[in-house]
Amino acid sequence: MKQIFVLLLVIVNACVAFSQKEKQAKHTQTMHFIFQNTVGDSLLQTGVTYTNAFGEPFTIRAFKYYVSGIQLQYADSSSYKVNTAPHLINEADSSSKQLHFTAPEGTVTGIQFLLGVDSLVNTTGVQAGDLDPAKGMYWVWNTGYIMAKLEGFSPAAKSPAHQFTYDIGGYKQGENATRTITLSVPFVNHQQMSLSQNNFIIKADALKWFTGVNDIQIAAQPMCHEPGTLAMQIADNYQQMFSVKKDHD
């Protein structure tokens, strides 16, 4: 009986190892992630008036979010964890919307990343680079990072100057606002593109902050500045805002 149990354990472990096998880097390629922030089908522009699903007009003044823990899925069912620091996408900084790194050669069929930064980063204290508090994404009073931020103006907001501000954070149990984003890369005929070209356009639709999983109306909830139920609801919404396509132009 013991021998049968050991044999079953070996088989199970082998299956797990196969399903999670890591891509071997015999040859490498440079990957280019280009982030395009949108409002619906339009490219996001600060100061332009948009309308959400509830008929509320609004303009955006700031749109930022962290991308970390990137993993690539390949056509041979292997995966690769990209060794990059958390990266801040900032609509006001065009250079921040491009991310370049080296990965094993092969056909990428899926992309996964964490929207936000994990608990280890949050509990390490003040850091440098994109994690520098000067980037405006750190709560000194709460000792933690803002995972994503959407701020602007709307006549629907009853707050001073008609501002709406959604600064979404929280990493502790029961209020964790990080979200895992999993994207399938649409198939592209390799005859239509250069094999050396690995540009992935990742779109983030700001309209998804207001609807999708939970209805968030600016008139009723113009502000979120702390971890909790509202932050979790908005995070569930913006988890749905991403899509990806391979650029072969």
Looking at this protein, which amino acid is placed at residue 105?
E
Query: Which of 10-14, 66-70, 130-134 has the least mean pLDDT?
Result: 10-14
What confidence score (pLDDT) does residue 80 get? 94
Question: Do 34 and 80 touch, CB atoms closer than 8 A?
Answer: no
Taking residue 42's Cβ as centre, other Cβ atoms within 10 Å add up to 11
Token reading at 142: 């709460």
What confidence score (pLDDT) does residue 7 get? 42
What confidence score (pLDDT) does residue 198 get? 84
What confidence score (pLDDT) does residue 2 get? 42
Q: Domain locations in the chain?
A: 23-247
If one compares 27 and 117, the residue with the highest pLDDT of the two is 117
Per-residue pLDDT tens over the stretch 161-171: 999 999 999 99
Average predicted confidence (pLDDT) for the chain:
87
d(CA 128, CA 116): 16
Residue 86 has pLDDT above 60, yes or no: yes
**Mean pLDDT across the stretch 5-21?**
41
